[in-house]
Amino acid sequence: MKTRDRLRIAMQKSGRLTEPALDLLNRCGLTFRQSRDKLFCFGEGEPVDLLLVRDDDIPGLIAQGVCDLGIVGRNVLSEYRLTAGREAEELAEWRALGFGRCRLSIAVPQELDYREAAQLQGQRIATSYPGLLGEWLRERGIDAGVVTLAGSVEIAPRLGTADAICDLVQSGGTLVANQLREAEVLLESEAVLAGAKALPSDERGDMIELLLKRLDGVIQVRESRLLLLQTSRHALEAVIRLLPGGPQPTLLPVAGQPDQLMLQALCAGEVSWRQLEEIKKAGAREMFVLPVEKMLA
Ligand code: ATP
Ligand code: ZN
């Protein structure tokens, strides 16, 4: 097979992961020629192209080497690892991306007095995730019937084709609408960056490493705030004690005011009004909280 020199990333063509995945890649400095209705988008600037496919196809495309990376739900990747045999062993979850959060859960009819997993013994459970459900049942020594359905799993109990379901849950609204109740969580899922365990040994491998660094910056920045404030030298210790977590703050002199310092601190999360008021009480003034646009460690 002719080796490619451009990196190829697979992502969902149209669905819940599409917009956030594209936004994330854009933030990493990747832009693509607009052809969102088509399968292939040529990357401008960096040698990275996009393949737009059904999310279920993404792990297989990576395993076959058609794509180098993919943005896909952990639920889909884990299911593939359990059901696709040897080629799936070569896949790795490179990064968790913080969007597309949901749970793979077993849900039972609301009227059932559910207390423990042993009650699932002998029951029929409908799911699109036979691999993950099968493993969970096996680990607990529960012998239940797994009814594999491609979609509309949530109506199976009402149709009488199953006693319970194992499906993705986000808010739980779909379960309530179908008179079901979440009973067990099998997997906490979110979108992940998946790829082959071994990096390609050519320029594509270098590009993946570069991308991972940018991605780490983007993910970290999303939650980071830069806190700027002025404080007198004698209040400094008290102010520093109240700073939200992060690396050591930077201190700068203030022109014409030898007793004053300007403090700059990177905070790992939101800085609340309450925290600002506390820091101010300790002696700070002229406080600013700024979002961070880019970060390169
Ligand atoms: P296609 O197969 O056409 O790409 P799909 O219907 O399988 O689309 P979506 O419903 O868009 O896919 O879901 C894609 C992913 O979004 C899921 O695999 C899961 O990781 C995540 N997700 C987050 N919340 C939910 C939810 N409430 N229901 C389903 N998936 C969710
Ligand atoms: Zn799908």
CATH for 7-99+191-221? 3.40.190.10
Cα–Cα distance measured from residue 114 to residue 289, given in angstroms and rounded to the nearest whole number: 48
Which residue ranges have their beta carbon within 6 Å of ligand 1? 12, 15-17, 54-56, 73, 75-76, 100, 102, 168, 170, 189
Bridge partners, residue 285, by sequence: 230
Distance in Å, CA 189 to ligand 2 centroid: 14
| Structural domain 102-189, CATH architecture | 3-Layer(aba) Sandwich (3.40)
Q: Nearest CA to 245 among 222, 229, 227? A: 227
pLDDT in tens, 76-129: 999 999 999 888 888 999 999 999 999 999 999 999 999 999 999 999 999 999
pLDDT exceeds 60 at position 272: yes
Q: Which amino acid type is present at position 52?
A: L
Distance in Å, CA 129 to ligand 1 centroid: 13
Please, where in the chain does CATH 3.40.190.10 lie?
Answer: 7-99+191-221, 102-189
pLDDT exceeds 90 at position 181: yes
pLDDT exceeds 70 at position 37: no
CATH class of 224-291: alpha beta
pLDDT exceeds 90 at position 223: no
Phi and psi torsions of 206, nearest 5°? -65, -40
Neighbours of 255 (CB within 10 A): 8
Q: Give the pLDDT confidence score for residue 108 in this predicted structure.
A: 98
| Closest ligand 1 atom, residue 174 Cα | 27
Collapsing DSSP to helix, strand or coil, 57 comes out as helix
81-101 burial, b if ≥16 CB within 10 A, otherwise e? bbeeeeebeebbebbebebbe
| Closest ligand 1 atom, residue 18 Cα | 11
| Closest ligand 1 atom, residue 74 Cα | 20
Q: Which amino acid type is present at position 188?
A: E
Q: Give the pLDDT confidence score for residue 296 in this predicted structure.
A: 80
pLDDT in tens, 131-156: 999 999 999 999 999 999 999 999 99
Mean pLDDT for the chain?
Answer: 94
pLDDT exceeds 60 at position 246: yes
| Closest ligand 1 atom, residue 171 Cα | 27
pLDDT in tens, 84-97: 988 888 899 999 99
Q: Which amino acid type is present at position 123?
A: Q
Q: Work out the percent of the chain whose per-residue pLDDT is above 90.
A: 85
Distance in Å, CA 214 to ligand 2 centroid: 28
Q: Which residue minimizes the CA distance to atom 2 of ligand 1?
A: 54
Note the pTM of the prediction, 2 decimals: 0.85
Q: Which residue minimizes the CA distance to atom 22 of ligand 1?
A: 100
Distance in Å, CA 2 to ligand 2 centroid: 30
Q: Work out the percent of the chain whose per-residue pLDDT is above 70.
A: 98
| Cα pseudo-dihedral 173, 178, 180, 185, rounded to 10 | -50
Which ligand does the CA of 168 lie closest to?
1
Q: Give the pLDDT confidence score for residue 231 in this predicted structure.
A: 97
Which of these ranges, 27-41, 124-138, 248-262, has the smallest mean pLDDT?
27-41
| Closest ligand 1 atom, residue 53 Cα | 4
Cα–Cα distance measured from residue 126 to residue 137, given in angstroms and rounded to the nearest whole number: 13
Q: How far is residue 180 from each of residues 134, 148, 249, 270, measured CA to CA in Å?
A: 21, 18, 51, 36
Please, where in the chain does CATH 3.30.70.120 lie?
Answer: 224-291
Distance in Å, CA 15 to ligand 2 centroid: 8
Greatest distance between any 2 Cα atoms in the chain: 80
